């Protein structure tokens, strides 16, 4: 077929992954008000099962974690059953799939929570005029409520229960979402975290919450099946502080000590850059993290090949190109043309259209 680096199999958590292409987590808002995964989501993931590893769209660990219209959850029996049906189909198609565990924190709104304010490290709102899509239309971001220690303890328990549920649903592993300005990222970032207790201030303190979440998850899953996503360069959801490099190198070292199976770093700048110094590179993470390293953000086939050839990454995650090209690995392997990207308005829900109806390549 090809001697391209992206198509060399790789070992992950006792599995041989068939290639180095990872389906990036992509929120598509198809689960409706119930947040129960539905069959067109199974179509979408099964169509993409030729990837070496699939990461699900961000999935709420509790109702408190929600902040996106139509995003799925994993905190009720129906949700577990919905995911189970999807995972059985993906496995039948010879795919491997991990669940991205999500708590939106302040990137939410009281309209999602019966009028209760969203939670965060500190009472500091996201400074972004774009606002947030709520169940009642677009609204400005609110000043969140700073989490108490009880809130933190309860949320750690929610992560553990979600990890138990993910096992029941038949996932092959978990990705803890600590990127893109959501709750765990809000604790890591020294602008959004202004706490003066043991969860704020020093980098050790700002990491504490993520460390507790990981310890809870690792009570349920072996470390090799657990990964973490970080976005050290990202500005999305008003992230970025001057000490970003110190913060994320410290975090990566802690994740290495836990012997996690992979670290997923959005090193590219295509999703917005905070411009608080030279962007962090995969090579910097490679130097401190021994498990598999996944790069992401703005990659095409050539740049992905180069990163793996340079041994700066083991795998590369692709997001937007995979939306309109369900058979992206075959297109890369055979040099088939790519379908152009599509209108992102269909990000916000709908049915199969603009979601699971993109065709695989057919020669004319």
Ligand X SMILES: Cc1cc2nc3c(=O)[nH]c(=O)nc-3n(C[C@H](O)[C@H](O)[C@H](O)COP(=O)(O)O)c2cc1C
- Single out the segment in contact with ligand X by CB under 6 A; choices: 18-26, 77-85, 193-201, 251-259: 18-26
Q: Give ∠ CA 361-299-332 in degrees, rounded to 5.
A: 30
Residue 241 beta carbon to ligand X: minimum distance, rounded to whole angstroms: 20
Catalytic (active site) residue 182: yes
Q: Does 66 bind ligand X (CB under 6 A)?
A: no
Q: Which of 170, 201, 279, 298 binds ligand X (CB under 6 A)?
A: 298
**What are 68's two structure tokens?**
């996106």
Q: Which is nearer to ligand X, 249 or 294 (CB)?
A: 294
Binding to ligand X (CB under 6 A): which residues in 334-363?
Answer: 347
Q: Which is nearer to ligand X, 146 or 192 (CB)?
A: 192
Residue 149 beta carbon to ligand X: minimum distance, rounded to whole angstroms: 27
Residue 183 CA, distance from chain mean position: 12
Q: Does 179 bind ligand X (CB under 6 A)?
A: yes
Residues 6+ apart with CB under 8 A from 116: 110, 145
- Single out the segment in contact with ligand X by CB under 6 A; choices: 118-126, 185-193, 313-321, 325-333: 313-321
Nearest to 119, CA basis, from 108, 132, 128: 108
Give the helix/strand (H/E) hosting 317.
strand 315-318
Q: Which of 21, 22, 24, 169 binds ligand X (CB under 6 A)?
A: 24
**Can you tell me whether residue 50 is helix, strand or coil?**
coil
Q: Does 26 bind ligand X (CB under 6 A)?
A: yes
Q: Which residue is nearest to ligand X (CB)?
A: 319
Q: Exposure string (b/e) for 27-57, b if CB count within 10 Å is 16 or more?
A: bbbbbeeebbbbebbbbbbbbbbbbbbbbbb
β pairing state of 137-139 and 145-146: unpaired
**What are 313's two structure tokens?**
């990454």
Q: Does 297 bind ligand X (CB under 6 A)?
A: yes
Residue 51 beta carbon to ligand X: minimum distance, rounded to whole angstroms: 12
CA-based max dimension of the chain: 64
Binding to ligand X (CB under 6 A): which residues in 93-152?
Answer: 100
Do the Cβ atoms of 71 and 102 come closer than 8 Å?
Answer: yes
β pairing state of 15-17 and 10-12: antiparallel
Task: Give CA–CA dist 51/354, Å, rounded.
Answer: 20
Q: Which is nearer to ligand X, 154 or 358 (CB)?
A: 358
Residue 296 beta carbon to ligand X: minimum distance, rounded to whole angstroms: 5
Site string for ligand X, 216-235 (x = CB under 6 A): -------------x------
Q: Which is nearer to ligand X, 268 or 291 (CB)?
A: 268
Q: Which of 13, 54, 58, 251 binds ligand X (CB under 6 A)?
A: 58
- Single out the segment in contact with ligand X by CB under 6 A; choices: 129-137, 142-150, 195-203, 291-299: 291-299
CA distance readout (Å), 4 to 24, 25, 295, 329:
20, 24, 17, 11
Which is catalytic among the residues 182, 262, 299, 355? 182
What positions carry a catalytic annotation?
182
């Amino acid at each position: 077929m090809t001697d391209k680096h992206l198509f060399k199999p790789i070992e992950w958590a006792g599995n041989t992954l068939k290639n180095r292409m990872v389906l990036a987590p992509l929120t598509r808002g198809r689960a409706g008000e119930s947040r129960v995964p539905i069959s067109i989501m199974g179509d979408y993931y099964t169509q993409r099962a030729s990837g070496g590893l699939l990461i699900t769209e961000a999935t709420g660990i509790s109702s408190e974690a929600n902040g996106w219209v139509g995003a799925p959850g994993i905190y009720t029996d129906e949700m577990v059953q919905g995911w189970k049906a999807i995972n059985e189909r993906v496995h039948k198609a010879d795919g491997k799939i991990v669940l991205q565990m999500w708590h939106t924190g302040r990137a939410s709104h009281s309209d999602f929570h019966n009028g209760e304010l969203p939670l965060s490290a500190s009472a500091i709102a996201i400074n972004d005029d774009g606002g947030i899509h709520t169940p009642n239309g677009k609204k400005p971001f609110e000043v969140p409520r700073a989490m108490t220690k009880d809130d933190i303890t309860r949320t750690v328990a929610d992560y553990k229960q979600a990890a138990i549920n993910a096992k029941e649903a038949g996932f092959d592993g978990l990705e803890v979402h600590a990127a893109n300005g959501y709750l765990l990222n809000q604790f890591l970032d020294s602008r959004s975290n202004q706490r003066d207790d043991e969860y704020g201030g020093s980098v050790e303190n700002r990491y504490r919450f993520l460390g507790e979440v990981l310890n809870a998850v690792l009570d349920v899953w072996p470390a090799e099946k657990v990964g973490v996503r970080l976005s050290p360069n990202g500005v999305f959801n008003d992230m970025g502080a001057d000490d970003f490099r110190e913060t994320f190198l410290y975090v990566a070292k802690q994740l290495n000590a836990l012997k996690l199976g992979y670290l997923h770093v959005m090193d590219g700048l295509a999703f917005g850059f905070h411009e608080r110094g030279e962007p962090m590179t995969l090579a910097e993470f490679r130097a401190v993290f021994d498990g598999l390293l996944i790069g992401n953000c703005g990659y095409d086939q050539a740049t992905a090949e180069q990163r793996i050839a340079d041994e700066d990454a083991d795998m590369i995650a692709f997001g937007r190109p995979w939306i309109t090209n369900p058979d992206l690995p075959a297109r890369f392997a055979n040099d088939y043309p790519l379908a152009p990207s599509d209108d992102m308005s269909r990000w916000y829900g709908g049915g199969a259209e603009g979601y699971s109806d993109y065709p695989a390549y057919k020669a004319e």
